[in-house]
Copies of this chain bind each other. A is one copy, B any other.
Amino acid sequence: MKTKDKIIQASIELFNLLGERNVSTNHIAAHLNISPGNLYYHYRNKDDIIRSIYTLYEQNLDQMFQPQHSDSVGMDEMMYYVDRVFYSMWRFRFFYANLSDILARDKELHQRYLVAQKRLYSRVINSLNEMREQGYLDLDDDMIDDLAQTLKLVVTFWISYQQTQCEDEITQSTISEGVLKVICIFKGHVSDMGRNHLNQIEQNYRELMNSDDISPTLD
């Protein structure tokens, strides 16, 4: 691995472990046994590193929103996507643990985040509309936007919420609980057909959670 990439991997690891605020570029250099000068040759400062990590995260997220089983987004695809989004959040959890702070101090990153959020929002709206057309969801027009916003808020702040609500470390099972949370939010809006299908998805997911010590996936 090149030094430039090693710096990114070590930064993700240390940020996730210790919290982004508690890790300096000097920590990162020391962790890699390289000089601070060598680190600065590759990245101007910590915010420069965070931007590069964000680029990785964005690529990761874009790759994941590929319909898996068909061209249309049904309930399985939606839940698969939710699971993948939570898994990405787990990999880059330092970012979500401190989101408003990180965005507030870097206007350029905030702009990129806003563009990505708009794209994400359109995708969620399209998926909800498709799920409604397929008869899974029972939603008035004016509730589609509202459900999309609630989902976005709950997913985005799931990690922060868990951090404020308990003193334990965030683990992969915290993340799996987030997927179940999203399933529960959908339950308020499903048709009878959707309910049976969603219960089945939930049951499969719980079995995977119990059988695995790694994150279950709906793949």
Contacts and interface: CB of A to CB of B under 8 A. Distances in A.
A167 B106 CA distance: 12
Interface string A146-184: 110110111011101101111100000000000001001
A143 interface: yes
State the 5 A-B residue pairs at the shortest beta-carbon distance, nearest first. A188-B188, A157-B157, A146-B184, A100-B160, A100-B163
A152 B153 CA distance: 12
A176 B103 CA distance: 24
Contact of A21 (B99, B101, B161): B101
Nearest to A153: B161
Most buried by B among A100, A114, A152, A156: A100
Contact of A189 (B19, B103, B146, B188): B188
Interface string A118-149: 00000000000000000000000001001101
B98 A163 contact: no
Interface of A: 19, 21, 97-101, 103-104, 110, 113-114, 117, 143, 146-147, 149-150, 152-154, 156-158, 160-161, 163-167, 181, 184-185, 187-189
23 contacts: A98-B100, A98-B101, A99-B164, A100-B160, A101-B101, A110-B164, A110-B167, A113-B164, A114-B165, A143-B184, A143-B188, A146-B181, A146-B187, A147-B188, A149-B181, A150-B150, A150-B181, A150-B185, A152-B161, A153-B153, A153-B157, A154-B154, A157-B160
Contact of A104 (B19, B150, B157, B161): B19
A145 to B, nearest CB: 9
Contacts of A187: 143, 146
Nearest to A147: B188
Nearest to A167: B110
Nearest to A103: B164
Nearest to A187: B143
Contacts of A154: 150, 153-154
Nearest to A102: B164
Contacts of A189: 188
Contacts of A161: 152-153, 156-157
